[in-house]
Amino acid sequence: MVGSVHVNGSANGANGTEDRLDELRRLLGKSDGDLLKIVSIGAGAWGSVFAALLQDAYGHFREKVQIRVWRRPGRAGDRSTAEHLFDVINSREDVLRRLIRRCAYLKYVEARLGDRTLYADEILRDGFCLNMVDTPLCPLKVVTNLQEAVWDADIVVNGLPSTETREVFEELSKYWKERISVPVIISLAKGIEASLDPIPRIITPTQMISSAAGVPTENILYLGGPNIASEIYNKEYANARICGSTKWRKPLAKFLRQPHFIVWDNSDIVTHEVMGGLKNVYAIGAGMVAALTNESATSKSVYFAHCTSEMIFITHLLTEQPEKLAGPLLADTYVTLLKGRNAWYGQMLAKGELRLDMGDSIKGKGMIQVMS
């Protein structure tokens, strides 16, 4: 057991961290003085936390790596969000001191008084995700110009909702036409598309990325839970699987591992990605069952049994030898049904506090995955 922790965690401390960075740089052909450029596309809760984890682990190696986040400009927070954010800042002495040192505190005071509007890209630079203001992150480098963010990136993290993935990566393809090397893409997106042409089939986010951006499937990986973004950043113990080609999944699993965030690798990208999408649909139902049965353990267990049976059936339709529904795959479904924005959404629907016509982007929660 102890050996397993040392293999998969960062037991070697700072030196081990730099060794992992150097190993990935060599694999990507980076020479001395040539930055390894990592950019996260999209700044929802998980995309922002993922970038912040990398920044915390590797950001101090400024001569070797650059970590940035792209998000669209112009999204404004409302007065109630500004008031809540101000309370969060003042409840955390470390965050308050950091903002004062950065001469950034005054704008939050002005926003609290209603004298200023705070924008999502602006506060993300200070370490606040608009969808997760209760969990302050480290300061992040934020870019609002998509071409600037991606044109020379070595690793692109897809933190977009699945409903936006195809559109954005079609735009990215325009900026990569003259590239000699192809970037490596890690997709965090959870969701699926259905297509009837030429035959009925399910399309996953990694497949969307490949067709939209012209990136070979060998260079596209999927990273899935079980995890809740805020809990991971608060260093609650978690694990994940990165799925894809052997060439990239094993070194990236090693690069991403941290003492509290253990990343394993797996070759079955289809099963993991499809389940990553289906679990969000099931989570809405789980929230509704919980609300309508007054948290009946029996009713919730029956619902869970039906979900897992259907997941097994669907994955067997999609691949000849799917990964067994066990371990992390089962746990990823369980934690999403237990806690998360989709389960919360289902509860609110059942209680009559939300309506379907209110859409799939909910204030303070972000995008309700695969609702579209």
Phi-psi group of 203: left, alpha or beta (phi > 0 → left; psi -120 to 50 → alpha; rest → beta): beta
- Residue pair 181/27 in contact (Cβ under 8 Å)? The answer is no
* Residue closest to 276 by CA, chosen among 371, 191, 215: 191
Q: Is 13 annotated as a binding residue?
A: no
Q: Is 250 annotated as a binding residue?
A: no
Q: Is 25 annotated as a binding residue?
A: no
Distances (CA, A) of 192 to 7, 9, 47, 164, 195: 34, 32, 18, 11, 10
Distance CA 279, CA 272 (A): 10
Q: Is 159 annotated as a binding residue?
A: no
Distance CA 110, CA 99 (A): 14
Hey, is 266 helix, strand or coil? strand
Q: Is 70 annotated as a binding residue?
A: no
Q: Is 350 annotated as a binding residue?
A: no
Q: Is 44 annotated as a binding residue?
A: yes
Q: Are strands 141-143 and 184-187 parallel, antiparallel or unpaired?
A: unpaired
Q: Is 43 annotated as a binding residue?
A: yes
Number of H helices, E strands in the chain: 16, 12
The type of residue at 127 is G
Terminal alpha carbon distance of the chain = 43
List 279, 300, 363, 365, catalytic entry: 279
Q: Is 342 annotated as a binding residue?
A: yes
Q: Is 341 annotated as a binding residue?
A: yes
Token pair recorded at residue 177: 């036409």
235 is catalytic: no
Distances (CA, A) of 42 to 273, 296, 312: 19, 37, 31
Residues in the annotated binding site for substrate: 190, 341-342
Which residues belong to the annotated binding site? 42-47, 190, 229, 341-342
Question: Which residue numbers belong to the known binding site for NAD(+)?
Answer: 42-47, 229, 341
Query: Which residue numbers are catalytic?
Result: 279
